[in-house]
Structure 1
Amino acid sequence: MNLKIAALLLFALCAQPAWSASYSTAAPAAKPAESAALNTRLALRDLWVEHIFWVRSYAVANQAGNTKQAAVAANEVVADATKIANSIAPLYGQPAADQLLKLLAGHWGAIKHYSDATVAKDKKGQQAAVDELTSNAKAIAAFLAKANPYLPEPTLLTLLSAHGGHHVAQIDQLAAGDYTGEARTWAMMREHILTLSDALAGALVKQFPDKF
């Protein structure tokens, strides 16, 4: 991988996550190119897991009426989305990163809308939020598919729609006090977000083989 691109990408991805050390120890014979691709994959995983963690934190705080905790969680969701968006800047440019951030902001806005409507027991507001989430998933899928030929739009839409569905189910279960059900949703949500982030990382490596 080109050293300049590698440095920029890994810096934008906010450094190697903690568990990457144990992963690389298990495969000491990895070639430099393989290590660059692996580090990118693990860094993206870390960022996307943070996304679902902080969104859940917001939903819990919001339903408990803890406005201070909810505000902190909301700020972390935005900060994480900014890191995710900026992670593509070294390869696609800052304008593309800015566009992705707008789309991710739309994703978060729809989830927040659903959470707030759930607290208010506003059924119409919940449906409007689901419609926003669906529309946003289509927009993100179209954007990423246009940017990378290794990300088919129908596949992306399926992945993103399922991701949005997990958010909705989780918020509903928390509101109903169904913590056992929410624990199952969290497990599925985490596995699914790893699948999504791995698809994104794999597509980057395929599209830019000279940089990895």
Structure 2
Amino acid sequence: MALAGGSLAACSSNSDASAPPSSSSASQPATNQAKQVVLNSAMRGLWADHMQWTWSSVDAFFHNPKGLQAQLDRLLQNQKDIGAAIVPYYGQDAATQLTDLLTTHIKDAVPVLTAAQKGDNAALEKASDEWYRNAKEIADFLTKANPDNWPTSATEPMMKTHIDQTIAYSVDLLKGNYAQAVKDYDAAELHMLMMGDTLAQGIIAQFPDKF
């Protein structure tokens, strides 16, 4: 992440040049860096939660139906948390829109998992198309909010990859191939952490006065 910094201009007098910087000047770069680290950590945490509760919900869907609702409720809360995280930068209306899109992202997974479990290929194709369509809507929302730092060329592949990878480990879980599921999940989680970094960096670049 490009961290905001500051520079001290050289002064003409010897006494001024040798004088230590004021406490406010010295602390400013450190303060900026700390704010950036906090945001980046928060974004990573939110998307790590997204991955964790998606995994547990998918596993429960296939193997522990009695535990599904608790997992799903926590996953849906995560979508609200992600929306709330952008309020300081984009406002409540945008946050609500993002939460709604992400909630649909979660709900659209259910027909995909149901069709896969039943082996209904026609239903699976239709449900998957809807899931990818919602992913594109999320990507387009992000690009509209921050076109300079989140261009379509970045957001659409990022969201498509997320769906691709979620399907991969979901199929592994459906088949009970847990060793492969762990490998595919690790790849998906790494991708999500990179997405969190991208979102944090974009916010910092778009709102430098806040950092």
Shorter-chain TM-score bucket reads 0.7 to 0.9
> Does 2:96 align with 1:93?
no
* Structure 1 position 32, deviation (Å): 1.1
Q: Distance in 2 between matches of 1:105 and 1:113?
A: 14
Where do residues 1-212 of structure 1 align in structure 2 (5 Å cutoff)? 31-64=30-63, 66-148=64-146, 149-212=148-211
SS of residue in 2 equivalent to 1:150: coil
Q: Distance in 2 between matches of 1:112 and 1:41?
A: 30
Q: Distance in 1 between matches of 2:52 and 2:110?
A: 14
Unaligned runs of 5+ in 2: 1-28
SS of residue in 2 equivalent to 1:151: coil
Q: Distance in 2 between matches of 1:96 and 1:156?
A: 17
* Structure 1 position 190, deviation (Å): 1.1
Higher Cα Rg: structure 1 or 2?
A: 2
* Structure 1 position 147, deviation (Å): 0.6
Is the contact made by 1:145 and 1:153 (CA closer than 8 Å) also made in structure 2? yes
* Structure 1 position 78, deviation (Å): 0.6
Q: Which amino acid aligns with 1:102?
A: D
Q: Deviations over 1:125-178 (max 9, x none)?
A: 221221012111111111111111210112110011000111111111111122
Q: What value does the CA root-mean-square deviation take over the aligned residues?
A: 1.2
Q: Distance in 2 between matches of 1:107 and 1:43?
A: 21
Q: Distance in 2 between matches of 1:186 and 1:41?
A: 22
Q: Using structure 1 for the length normalisation, give the TM-score.
A: 0.82
SS of residue in 1 equivalent to 2:108: helix
Is the contact made by 1:45 and 1:194 (CA closer than 8 Å) also made in structure 2? yes
Unaligned runs of 5+ in 1: 1-29
SS of residue in 2 equivalent to 1:108: helix
Q: Distance in 1 between matches of 2:106 and 2:127?
A: 10
Aligned residue pairs: how many? 182
Q: Distance in 1 between matches of 2:48 and 2:124?
A: 24
Q: Distance in 1 between matches of 2:53 and 2:103?
A: 14
SS of residue in 2 equivalent to 1:31: helix
Q: Distance in 2 between matches of 1:190 and 1:114?
A: 20
Is the contact made by 1:62 and 1:119 (CA closer than 8 Å) also made in structure 2? no
User: 117-126 or 202-211, which moves further after superposition?
Assistant: 117-126
Moved over 3 A (4+): none
SS of residue in 1 equivalent to 2:40: helix
Q: Which amino acid aligns with 1:165?
A: D
Q: Distance in 2 between matches of 1:89 and 1:195?
A: 21
SS of residue in 1 equivalent to 2:203: helix
Q: Distance in 2 between matches of 1:176 and 1:122?
A: 15
Q: Distance in 2 between matches of 1:200 and 1:112?
A: 27
Is the contact made by 1:111 and 1:168 (CA closer than 8 Å) also made in structure 2? no
Q: Using structure 2 for the length normalisation, give the TM-score.
A: 0.83
Q: Which amino acid aligns with 2:209?
A: D
Q: Distance in 2 between matches of 1:126 and 1:78?
A: 23
